[in-house]
């Protein structure tokens, strides 16, 4: 049965206007003022990520690399698995004759400032064979099945290689269960702890954790429950983080999880996933469930797959979001049935659309081709409608490069003139210019990002987002009896297309994204979202190294401090 009662119980009357009830906690004082609920997307699990959330950094290792003699690589995890060289948890059972080693890499090309990752590590393993550790390691000491070494972040990586595995006589007892733990975490790891305690403190205060990066739904090949990530997998990078680990995290922090189930996942997968969440999620917490991620986005295979399914079912082109709405509704109903009478209190079912393409959402929310088969509109299966809160991508396009370069030339000139006016010379002058070369350019960028007042083009600015785009989606949410929440948001200032490889502009964008001026824009952005009556501003992401592909991390590394993150926390706690 569809939850039609939400159309009444999920709305309150304010004058003659229907307003969605907030999904976040109400103020305990009972004065009607609601608390600002804020969500966060953790960064992805990778060897090159500056956030290493797991005490055992082996869980963030790259998937296996099969090294052929005299070269780097030659085979990957899938080759080794297909040839039967891996056990059920992914550990190599043998080194095939065409390979000299099977290895992985860890802690790759990390910023030197990520000093919390520096120190002495202890590697332990079970089984027989030869295990070698190289790369950015120093002072190696081997004692039985334990190797300790020193590591400092910087260019390069830890190179781990298995050159022989298994008993010489019969090949049994292969190397397995490798753990790599910083010495300060050894006691915690022995006691069964999983997460870095400093990172847990960082998450304290957020109400929802969206696990998109951990579940890796983009281009996912997961289809059956048997193919899901497992706790005992050698690493949690090649399939994703196991559900048990995600539940352990949210139960510990007392925050709500937001899951993004794979687009290929079958009904049994969703029944079992929902059952585990229902049974293991701590009382008082709610599960947000979303079908895949950005099925509208043709960068990802889920969009093409949905289009193929729509064409096969209805014989129509460009109906991919109607199929998305249909399948999302089917999965939503599976979850509702598994949660039963507790669904209203413990489940938030989410449907999304492309934020800037106003009107596209109608295909997903109403899916007329599915309705023509006698089905209700997809929106009637959901509790929340979700969009993004990004701004600033326009200035990363090639057509705006002359404007940005002009800012940089004038800004450098002003820094030089200022140094000369102060009578600075030598190294003191160079340092002043280096510290202030972007000052004037940042001011121009802030104006442009706020309202387009420098170029005269108002699209993709805060003013456009808050004045036109978000109000459109708020009206869509109200029309369909849904709460409006965000699945990702923040700065989208990054080079696009050929500008990705423009080092001058990339360096400026990275600097800009962590300035006090960017922090001011974040204050306006987040306040504007809540002033609209929407809920759950969602940070993308908590920690991440900035580079030419974007400055997504609110923090650049776990011990970082910057004005943008300070603004996020101030708005969250307002």
Does 285 map to a domain?
yes
Q: Are residues 261 and 314 in the same domain?
A: yes
Does 556 map to a domain?
yes
Give the C-alpha distances (Å, rounded to integers) separating 400 from 357, 394, 397, 404, 515.
22, 8, 6, 6, 21
pLDDT higher than threshold 70 for residue 26: no
Query: How far, in Å, CA of 6 to CA of 564, rounded?
Result: 37
What's the confidence (pLDDT) of residue 336? 98
Number of domains observed in the structure of the chain: 3
Q: Are residues 212 and 165 in the same domain?
A: no
Q: Are residues 307 and 184 in the same domain?
A: no
Please give the backbone phi and psi of residue 455, each rounded to the nearest 5 degrees, phi first: -90, -20
Does 12 map to a domain?
no
Please give the backbone phi and psi of residue 452, each rounded to the nearest 5 degrees, phi first: 75, 20
pLDDT higher than threshold 70 for residue 19: no
CATH of the domain at 538: 3.20.20.80
What's the confidence (pLDDT) of residue 167? 84
What is the distance of C-alpha 1 from the center of its chain?
33
Q: What is the DSSP letter of 34?
A: B
Does 122 map to a domain?
yes
Q: Are residues 265 and 299 in the same domain?
A: yes
pLDDT higher than threshold 90 for residue 444: yes
What's the confidence (pLDDT) of residue 35? 56
Query: How far, in Å, CA of 398 to CA of 401, rounded?
Result: 5
Q: Are residues 161 and 181 in the same domain?
A: yes
Q: Are residues 501 and 552 in the same domain?
A: yes
Q: Are residues 230 and 336 in the same domain?
A: yes
Q: How confident is the model over 418-436, as pLDDT tens digits? A: 999 999 999 999 999 999 9
Does 490 map to a domain?
yes
What's the confidence (pLDDT) of residue 170? 75
Q: Are residues 421 and 474 in the same domain?
A: no
Q: Are residues 343 and 357 in the same domain?
A: yes
Q: Are residues 354 and 481 in the same domain?
A: yes
Q: Are residues 356 and 503 in the same domain?
A: yes
Does 107 map to a domain?
yes
pLDDT higher than threshold 80 for residue 226: yes
Mean of per-residue pLDDT scores for the chain: 94
Domain span at residue 231? 37-48+199-396+459-573
Any alpha helices (H) in 281-436, and if so which ranges? 301-314, 320-339, 343-346, 361-366, 368-371, 401-421, 426-436
Does 500 map to a domain?
yes
Neighbours of 539 (CB within 10 A): 26
Q: Are residues 392 and 437 in the same domain?
A: no
Task: Judge contact between 236 and 242, C-beta under 8 A.
Answer: yes
pLDDT category at 23 given cuts 50, 70, 90 is low
Q: How confident is the model over 101-153, as pLDDT tens digits? A: 999 999 999 999 999 999 999 999 999 999 999 999 999 999 999 999 999 99
Give the mean model confidence (pLDDT) for residues 15-19. Answer: 32
Does 22 map to a domain?
no
């Amino acid at each position: 049965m569809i939850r039609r009662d939400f159309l009444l119980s999920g709305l309150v009357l304010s004058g003659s206007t229907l307003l969605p009830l907030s999904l976040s906690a109400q103020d305990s004082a009972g004065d009607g003022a609601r608390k600002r609920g804020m969500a966060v997307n953790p960064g992805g699990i990778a060897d090159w990520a500056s956030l290493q959330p797991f005490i055992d950094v082996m869980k963030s290792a790259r998937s296996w690399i099969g090294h052929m003699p005299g070269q780097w690589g030659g085979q990957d995890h899938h080759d080794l698995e297909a040839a039967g060289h891996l056990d059920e948890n992914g550990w190599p059972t043998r080194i095939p004759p065409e390979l000299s080693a099977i290895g992985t890499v860890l802690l790759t090309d990390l910023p030197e400032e990520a000093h919390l990752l520096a120190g002495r590590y202890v590697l332990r393993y079970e089984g027989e064979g030869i295990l070698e550790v190289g790369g950015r390691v120093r002072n190696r000491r081997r004692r039985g099945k334990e190797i300790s070494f020193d590591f400092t972040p910087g260019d390069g990586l830890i190179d781990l290689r298995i050159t022989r595995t298994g008993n010489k006589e019969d090949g049994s007892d292969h190397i397995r269960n490798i753990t790599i733990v910083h010495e300060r975490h050894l006691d915690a790891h022995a006691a069964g702890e999983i997460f870095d305690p400093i990172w847990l403190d960082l998450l304290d205060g957020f109400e929802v954790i969206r696990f998109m990066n951990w579940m890796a739904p983009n281009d996912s090949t997961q289809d059956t429950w048997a193919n899901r990530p497992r706790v005992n997998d050698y690493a949690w990078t090649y399939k994703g983080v196991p559900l048990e680990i995600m539940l352990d995290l949210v139960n510990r922090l007392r925050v709500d999880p937001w899951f993004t189930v794979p687009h290929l996942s079958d009904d049994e997968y969703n029944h079992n996933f929902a059952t585990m969440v229902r049974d293991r999620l701590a009382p008082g917490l709610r599960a947000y469930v979303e079908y895949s991620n950005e099925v509208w986005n043709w960068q990802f295979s889920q969009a093409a797959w949905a289009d193929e399914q729509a064409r096969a079912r209805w014989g129509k082109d460009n109906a991919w979001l109607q199929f998305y709405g249909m399948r999302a509704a089917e999965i939503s109903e599976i979850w509702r049935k598994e949660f039963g009478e507790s669904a209203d209190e413990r489940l938030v079912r989410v449907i999304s659309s492309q934020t800037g393409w106003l009107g596209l959402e109608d295909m997903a929310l109403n899916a007329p081709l599915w309705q023509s088969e006698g089905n209700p509109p997809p929106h009637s299966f959901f509790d929340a409608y979700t969009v993004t809160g990004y701004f600033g991508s326009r200035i990363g396009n090639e057509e705006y490069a002359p404007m940005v370069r002009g800012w940089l030339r004038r800004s450098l000139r002003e820094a030089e003139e200022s140094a000369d006016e102060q009578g600075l010379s030598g190294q003191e002058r160079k340092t002043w210019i280096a510290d202030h070369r972007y000052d004037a350019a940042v001011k121009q960028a802030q104006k442009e990002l706020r309202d387009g007042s420098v170029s005269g083009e108002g699209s993709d600015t805060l003013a456009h987002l808050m004045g036109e785009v978000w109000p459109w989606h708020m009206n869509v949410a109200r029309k369909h009896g849904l709460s409006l929440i965000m699945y990702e948001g923040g700065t989208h200032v990054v080079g696009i297309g050929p500008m990705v490889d423009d080092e001058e502009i990339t360096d400026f964008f990275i600097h800009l994204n962590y300035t006090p001026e960017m922090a001011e824009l974040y204050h306006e952005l987040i306040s504007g979202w809540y002033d609209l009556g929407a809920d759950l501003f969602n940070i993308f992401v908590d920690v991440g190294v900035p580079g030419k592909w974007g400055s997504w991390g609110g923090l650049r590394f776990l011990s970082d401090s910057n004005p943008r993150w300070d603004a996020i926390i101030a708005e969250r706690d307002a």
